[in-house]
Structure 1
Amino acid sequence: MKNGLRRRVMAGETVTAAWLELGSPEVAEIMVRSGWDVLVIDCEHGAVGLEDGLNLIRAVEAAGGEAMIRVPDAREATLKRALDRGARSLLVPMVNSAEMAREVAGFCRYAPMGRRGYAAPIVRASGYGAWTDYAAQANEEVFVAVQIEHVDVIPDIAEIAAIPGIDMGFIGPNDLAGSMDRLERLDDPAVVEAITGIEATAAAHGLTLGTIEGQRDYGALAKAGYRLVIGPNDVMLLSGAARAAAERRSGLV
């Protein structure tokens, strides 16, 4: 029940992960057994809602992996339910201000650190009461990453870095570019400047960063200080393999 992903990140390791978009427990097992020991279950853009996404944690863990949940929103009820149902690592989208980040942090931690609602003895997070000191340890086991994906939040990066309970700022480059009217133009100088500015501020104020693999590969992102890099997703892996297989038969049809 300990959060291995949080420990790895906080120890300075750059952890690589893959997205789980299709919502299939079989696909989750295949991906973990194929070497992706951290999967991010996407309940924002993926095929499953929060409840089915939380059930996928079982498949990931049973295969020997660790699961992170991208919740669909930052509402208190959403975050509380995700944590109670056994999500230890959360990726929270569209956190566009320090005030919003402060609320997210509070929703995810028990008092006195936060205001998470208490039901520890009866929830999956505590093994339905088997982890008897869960409430005493939960604040140290939860891992919360807030997505930095709007130009409006850039002036608040230093303030977010100082918020207890925020473990990572996760840059969403395409949404960030879109908020600057440069969607899918990640090499635009203004977008590059915005991202490098976030990196510099985060480094200066001790905010751990994560992002997606894309314009820069895993090695370059690790050297730039990123400690979580999410790469491929099951949709693209399947469609890419299907296209490649179809191309191999092109001489026969």
Structure 2
Amino acid sequence: MSTSLHQRLARGDSVLMVNPNHISPTLCEKLVRSGADSVFIDCEHGLASYEDIHHMAKAARYAGGFGIVRPQNQERSTITRCLNAGADGVMVPLIHTAEIARQVVHTFRYAVPDDHANKLLVGMVESVEAVRNLDEILAVEGIDVFFVGPGDLSQSMGYSPAVAPGKRRAQPVLDLVDETLQRIRAAGKVAGTLVVRQDVEHLVSMGAQLLYYHADPFVAEGVSAMRQLSAPATAALETH
């Protein structure tokens, strides 16, 4: 089923991948029915188990989407279990060198030898070392998307990986993200990164196709907007 993700990316379409931020197959289904192309199941920083992967990815597929998993490491057994649990692809962290990239491709193909062409392999470029080795990493065949991770990249540059609400990352980090996305696209490869509402158009113009976002901001923004809309009505009632 993931073949259609390959097709969309090959056409140059933007693909929206949303992290539900909660272990909930129902929410995964709802996100896809609301327009997300894929859900992101995080086993590196999240709490999802292999059984959770199975149910969440299945729910996303039931709604017509896909489930992409970030495993907690690059070990063969970990990646294999994520894919065998039903993931439509994996987004592997910490691809610092071409040698690591080659090993990840080998592990991925070993895990699903008869089906790897139908699964999505995303490699994360998220350190100064990875950016320094980017040309060699991009030359490794078998990685479908090169994802620039701004949080870990920030940390490797000496900045906090977190961003306070309403704030932006340090400008040197933003500049390096832009430059890295452009280099990926210039090499004829597919690029992806984390987006937020205010910078999504800019990042797409830099070459990002796989757009990663979190579900929690949707909820927070919706509740905040409803509170603001209801405040004048509540105040009017109190004056009568």
> What is the deviation of 1:82?
1.6
Structure-2 change in CA distance of 1:49 and 1:85 (3 Å): closer
Identity of aligned residues (%): 28
2:216 aligned residue (217, 231, 235): 235
Question: What are the superposed Cα offsets for residues 159-215 of structure 1, whole Å, 9 maximum, x if unpaired?
Answer: 111112111110111210111112247553432342233234323322321001138
Deviation of residue 86 (structure 1)? Answer: 2.4
Partner Cα separation in structure 2 for residue 30 and residue 50 of structure 1: 21
Contact persistence 2:182–2:206 (CA under 8 A)? no
Equivalent position to 2:181, from 199, 204, 216: 199
Distance in structure 2 (CA, Å) of the matches to 1:83 and 1:44 = 15
Please give the secondary structure, in 2, of the residue aligned with 1:181. Answer: coil
Give secondary structure in 2 for the equivalent of 1:145. Answer: strand
Change beyond 3 A, Cα 1:49–1:243: farther
In structure 1, distance between residues paired with 2:2 and 2:175 = 38
Counting only pairs closer than 5 Å after superposition, residues 1-253 of structure 1 correspond to structure 2 as 1-109=1-109, 116-117=110-111, 135=114, 138-183=115-160, 184=162, 187-214=169-196, 217-231=199-213, 233-245=214-226, 248=230, 251=235
**How far off its partner does 1:48 sit?**
1.8
Q: 8 Å contact 1:21–1:47 — kept in the other structure?
A: no
> Given the superposition, is the C-alpha separation of residues 30 and 139 from structure 1 closer, same or farther in structure 2, using an over 3 Å criterion?
closer
**TM-score with structure 1 setting the length:** 0.79
Residues 177 and 35 of structure 1: CA distance in aligned 2, closer, same or farther (over 3 Å): same
Aligned length: 229
The structural deviation recorded for 1:117 is: 4.6
Amino acid at match of 1:179: S
RMSD: 2.5
Q: Distance in 2 between matches of 1:16 and 1:84?
A: 24
Give the Cα–Cα distance (whole angstroms) in 1 for the partners of residues 111 and 149 of structure 2: 29
CA–CA distance in 1 between the matches of 2:118 and 2:129? Answer: 30
Q: Check conservation: 2:89, 2:119, Cα contact below 8 A.
A: yes
Distance 1:215 1:20, change over 3 A: closer
**Is the CA contact 1:22–1:235 (under 8 Å) kept in the aligned structure 2?**
no
Paired residues of 1:50 and 1:71 also in contact (CA < 8 A): no
- After superposition, the Cα gap between the structure-2 partners of 1:245 and 1:195, relative to the gap in structure 1 and judged at 3 Å, is closer
Give the letter for the 2:43 counterpart. C
Q: Any gaps of 5 or more consecutive residues in structure 1?
A: 110-115, 121-134
Task: State the TM-score, normalizing by the size of structure 2.
Answer: 0.83
